[in-house]
A = this chain, B = another copy of it.
Amino acid sequence: MARRPTKSRPEAQNPVRRVTAKAADGDDTFVTALKLADAELTPAMRAYFDKCTEKLGFVPNVLKAYAFDMPKLEAFVAMYNDLMLAPSGLTKLEREMIAVAVSSHNRCYYCLTAHGAAVRSLADDPVLGELMVMNYRAARLDRRQRAMLDFAVKLTAEPWGIEESDRKPVREAGFSDRDIWDIAAVAGFFNMSNRIASATDMRPNSIYHGQKRG
């Protein structure tokens, strides 16, 4: 939602230099294509935004996008934090890898940008995030992580076709029933978020683009 909407980018007038402005221009002020007025943050959400600013240096745009309605924001934050940060048989990096592989299938600009940066950072590996963004099959993953991503991506592409025969290689790669739930829940969550971001033209904070590149 464009709280302080930037001017819509005019058609280029200069044929020599058609991309007249940087592609990310306005990414930090334009949040979504929906004009929704900010609600007043509840104390819990105010504290959460402050914590983001303190730890990350900024409030992720997805949180600003939900900030028109406190129950929605709080439900999103509760689910997100449980899935991505709470104890699990999956490492935080693995959960972010699922997030990016799913978002790659769905070609979601917001999530690929924000969570691609997270993979680069958590793995301390500037290339792994690129591989998740571009084609996870090209990454040289161990059997465990490959089975995890194959399950998450098939669940994304053809949920109607998932059966015990799909869970079997995941189990055989060492994942417990609880782990399978977590893989499914993270994959499911990003199938939700990708769609909310695409439906609203949500734009990522531009700072993500340069993070952990070298």
- Name A residues whose Cβ lies closer than 8 Å to a Cβ of B: 1, 9, 11-12, 18-20, 22-24, 27, 33-36, 68, 71-72, 74-76, 78-79, 82, 86, 91, 93-94, 104, 106-109, 112-113, 123, 125-128, 130-131, 133-135, 137-145, 151, 155-156, 159-164, 167, 177-178, 180-181, 183-185, 187-189, 191-196, 198-201, 206, 209-210, 213-214
Contact partner, A123, options B19, B127, B151, Cβ 8 Å: B19
Contact status B128-A35, CB under 8 Å: no
Copies of chain A in the complex: 6
Q: List 9 A-B contacts (CB under 8 A).
A: A1-B177, A19-B141, A24-B125, A36-B177, A108-B134, A155-B198, A162-B199, A181-B200, A184-B196
Task: Given contacts A151-B199, A159-B198, list 10 more A-B pairs with CB under 8 A.
Answer: A18-B94, A18-B142, A22-B127, A68-B178, A71-B78, A109-B131, A159-B195, A181-B200, A184-B199, A185-B196
Known contacts A191-B195, A210-B214; is-contact A109 B126 (Cβ 8 Å): no
Q: Quick one: which of B138, B185, B206 contacts A72, CB cutoff 8 A? A: B185
What 5 A-B pairs have minimum CB-CB distances, sorted nearest first?
A184-B199, A107-B160, A24-B127, A192-B192, A188-B192
Q: Do A75 and B82 have beta carbons less than 8 Å apart? A: yes
Contact for A128 among B19, B126, B156, B191, CB less than 8 A: B19
Q: A210: which B residues are within 8 A, CB to CB?
A: 126, 213-214
